[in-house]
Amino acid sequence: MSFWYWLVSFLPFEWAAPGTMLFMKNALLGVLVITPLFGLLSTMVVESRMAFFSDALGHSAFTGMAIGALCGLSQPVWAAVVFAVVIAFLFTLVRQKTRMASDTAISVFSSAAVALGIFLSTLGGQSFTKFNTLLIGDILSVAPREIGLLAVILVLLVVLWATSFNSMMLSSVHQALADSRGIRVVWKSFLFTAAIAVVVTVTMSWVGLLVINALLVLPGAAARNIARNLSQYHLIAILGGLVCGVGGLLLSYYVGASAGASITLLLAVWFFVTLLLRGKQ
Amino acid sequence: MRFAAKKVYSRIPLPVRPGTCTLQVRDLGVTLEEDTILHDVTFQLNCREIVALIGPNGAGKSSLFRSVLGQIPYEGSIQFMLAGGHPSRPRIGYVPQSPSFDRGYPISVLDFFAAAISRWPVFLPVPRDLRERVVECLSRVHGQGLLDKRIGALSGGELQRVLLALALEPIPQILILDEPLSGVDVGGEHLLLEMLDEIRQKYDLSILFSTHDFSTLRHYADKVILLQQTILKQGAPKEVLGSPEFQSVFHLNLGDEEGGGKA
């Protein structure tokens, strides 16, 4: 981390001065790690029509957090990660068995998970206030250890992408063709879903449950408006996420608003810009 | 449409070559959850033959394909014999019924193709040698110009040609096409059928395809198989299309010489 702090000290911002505002520097590094992560995930989320599904995963992550807190864990985030991975596994199973992204079924899962989370966290007359940070997100809470975890996930995801992207893409665009070429993606799509679950769970407390799904959808949705092939698609999704992520963080610092909301707003603006650009083509 | 100028119905008569490879299907039966999908299906597909499979929806055409592809369990035997009469496992190229692609998906023909035939992760720019290999594959269906088009922007006929090119890599011994003519306009239909004719001569392979379009059968199919759970009639196109079995299955009375239009 000290190398990072040293590196940041060259930036022309008042908070970049050595020895001050470490939380801001952590947050910046966090954003630099999570936006490529979200960018990579978002193209697949958009193409596999999993936007709603990933939203539901985010909701179950909250429930996992509540369960962890109830069990008296000091780090409920780990319980949430485990819970979200289990839910991700069940979802993948249901998706494979029924071969459809039934929005009704997802909605049932999702609302049941949220209800359970609220039920558990308010059990015995507890106040819900302590969970507010999960809903809105607090960029101050970025810890170097979590950044390390996400960096590891980013590396793992790149490996998964390098080895499995082709087969996952083929089965999402053309199931019959993938079948005839003997492509099976059950485990790969589980790993993909689990990656979403872990990323959402860990970053939820920074970005906020209410807007986190935007990060999983908007970079891909914006990039697909202007990209002409898959490499452009990924490049634009990652760069768009990166620029809006850093921009949103700076914006939130200077105006004093939630970073998650600021990033999401910039991404939404970016999405509409690409929509206009597409219209011109 | 580079073929439009050519005479559409030209076909070189095939030299009879006894003793070449055959696919022999004997007493094929498929049962799915106690429903009999197919029973007692027996036919032969010779090398360089184009055989059309017709029948109403739910007649078991796709199940027949999937049995030959080895994707579903079946009774009876499906055997492929090489020219010398040696049994062998055939290389089968399969062109699935083309789905409606999401028009907005930014995936080029190159991306799609490269993903299917190589291990190169196609979210990275495709290297030059792989690109050249894809161009070579596409040129088999005269589709080099489609390389950088988005899949969603292709016409029905163009999409079929891309899927056909994919099925031809590696060059198969049997080519199976599920409804290749659906969603293809008339010009595209003839282009595609001309191409199949060219391919079977060039690569010495047999072609089995299903269709609902009977107007083209006389010109392009060597044999027609009328299927409804079992084979009701098989033989030369004229014979099958003029048979009482054909008329009763499709509930139509084909008055005209050409054998009717689309059903």
B96/A177 touch (CB, cutoff 8 Å), yes or no: yes
- Residue B73 to chain A, least CA–CA distance (Å): 15
Determine the pLDDT at residue B232: 92
Specify the length of chain A in residues.
Answer: 281
Name the stretches of chain A with pLDDT < 70: 98-102, 280-281
The pTM of the full predicted model, rounded to 2 decimals, is 0.80
Structure-token pair, residue A35: 């936006």
Q: Which residues contact A25 (CB under 8 A, 6 or more apart)?
A: A4, A5, A8, A15, A16
- Best to test chain A binding among B95, B101, B123 (most A CBs inside 10 Å): B123
Is residue B14 pLDDT above 50, yes or no? no
Residue A158 contacts B, CB cutoff 8 Å: no
For residue range B70-86, list pLDDT tens digits in order. 888 999 999 888 877 78
Residue A192 contacts B, CB cutoff 8 Å: no
For residue range B129-152, list pLDDT tens digits in order. 999 999 999 999 988 999 999 988
Structure-token pair, residue A24: 């801001």
Residue A25 contacts B, CB cutoff 8 Å: no
Distances (CA, A) of B45 to A167, B66, B170, B207: 32, 16, 20, 8
3-class secondary-structure state, position B71: coil
- Residue A32 to chain B, least CA–CA distance (Å): 20
Q: What is the ipTM of this complex?
A: 0.80
Determine the pLDDT at residue A42: 93
Of B101, B106, B126, the CB nearest to A227: B106
Structure-token pair, residue A92: 């993948």
Tally of CA atoms within 13 A in the half-sphere of B86 that contains its CB:
3
Which one-letter amino acid corresponds to residue B255? G
CA angle centred on A14, ends A11 and A20, rounded to 5°: 95
**CA pair distance A200, A260, nearest whole angstrom:** 13
B106/A223 touch (CB, cutoff 8 Å), yes or no: yes
B174-177 and B92-95 beta bridge pairing:
parallel
Closest C-alpha to B38, from B55, B22, B16, B19: B55
Closest C-alpha to A86, from A116, A102, A64, A65: A64
- Best to test chain B binding among A48, A165, A170, A174 (most B CBs inside 10 Å): A174
Q: How far does CA A21 lie from the centroid of its chain?
A: 25
**Residue recorded with tokens 């055959």:** B22
Radius of gyration over every alpha carbon of chain A, rounded to an integer in angstroms: 19
Residue of B nearest to A234 (CA): B123
Distances (CA, A) of B214 to A44, B63, B65, B250: 41, 21, 19, 11
